[in-house]
Amino acid sequence: MRVASAGATLLVVAAIVFFVMRFVPGDPVLNWLGTSYEKADYDRLRALYGLDLPLQQQFLIWFSNLLQGDLGYSVLTQLSVSEELWRRLPATLELIVLALAVALPLGIGSGIWAAWRYGKPADHAVLTATLLGISLPEFFVGALLMLALALQWRVFPATGFEPFAWSAEHFAHMALPALALGLPRAAVICRLMRGSLLEVFGRPYVRASLAKGLSRKATLFAHAVRNALIPVVTVIGLQIGYLVAGAVVVEKLFVIPGVGAYGLNAVTARDYPSVQGFILVVAAIFLIANLIVDLLYLWLDPRIRTGAQGAGR
């Protein structure tokens, strides 16, 4: 049911993107040709991309091709959009995974630490750091990291990309982009984890555990953390969307040939086929991430699993 709903949502997103792109003011063909062009070239391009057809007919042709996996050809590169996105997708997915590898342990760990040290200097220090992390956008964090760790201390390469390999050189090139994308998300996760854990500390079963003689530390890890993670997992699913959006500027800043950089170039050039393909890929990543979050709910909260089984019967 969830998979069918996600598929339907993706098709609705596809239709919305198609019509929104057509309603943006201006003539995309003029944007492609520039100020000096021949009328024959203008007519040829409009016919080539079907822009001379009625809007409904354009949509039916595009949607029919989409159902067959054909996203058309890029105006900028004259290459298949599907092939271009498929070629660039691994770099973006790796960047997102590495950013999560930074954000999850750092955000959850510091959130637990701040809640454990509630009201003490360590808690205030973590809150100050997370406020700074939430306030700074990814491109600014990336620029700071580049200046400090690449240009000043020369710990990591400033820019460039190495195809995936289990090598120190490859991960050295991905370190700064992953940090730039992951640190702001870690700040959000930390604050939510801290607040959720403090709320769980006040619940009756936690107080009962402490009253029975279980140590505060044992209660924290045996009962409180797992329950506090439930709202955090919800936000982590939503953060995937922010990670994909942040990947656009991070890939451009660090010269990573991923889907984000491809989408930014396509938007700038008003490359209809490429923009539509890019947004569909972003929507698919977001929907898949939320399906994974639903599975994590079943593991974290047995009540949800029991309810789902009961509904099935």
Q: Are 109 and 191 in contact (CB under 8 A)?
A: no
Matching CATH number, 81-312, of 1.10.3720.10, 2.60.40.650, 3.30.1490.20, 1.10.3210.10: 1.10.3720.10
d(CA 304, CA 310) in angstroms, rounded, equals 10
**Dihedral of CA 36/40/41/46: which sign?**
positive
Q: Are 190 and 110 in contact (CB under 8 A)?
A: yes
Q: What is the pLDDT of residue 142?
A: 95
d(CA 39, CA 32) in angstroms, rounded, equals 13
66 CB-contact burial (10 Å; exposed 0-12 / middle 13-18 / buried 19+): buried
Half-sphere exposure of 282 (CA within 13 A, CB side): 26
Cβ atoms < 10 Å from Cβ of 180: 29
In which residue are the tokens 């949502």 written? 9
Q: Report residue 58 CA to chain centroid gap.
A: 30
Which tens digits make up the pLDDT trace of 184-221?
999 999 999 999 999 988 888 777 777 777 777 777 77
Helix (H) or strand (E) segment spanning residue 44: helix 39-48
Q: Are 267 and 155 in contact (CB under 8 A)?
A: no
Residues of each domain in the chain carrying CATH 1.10.3720.10: 81-312
Residue 161: name the closest of 255, 243, 250, 263 by CA. Answer: 255
d(CA 173, CA 119) in angstroms, rounded, equals 39
Low-confidence stretches of the chain (pLDDT beneath 50)? 308-313
Q: What is the pLDDT of residue 22?
A: 85
Q: What is the pLDDT of residue 304?
A: 59
Name the 3-class secondary structure at 80.
strand
Q: What is the pLDDT of residue 35?
A: 75
Task: Please indicate, yes or no, whether the overall pTM of this predicted structure exceeds 0.95.
Answer: no
d(CA 213, CA 200) in angstroms, rounded, equals 18
Q: Are 161 and 257 in contact (CB under 8 A)?
A: yes
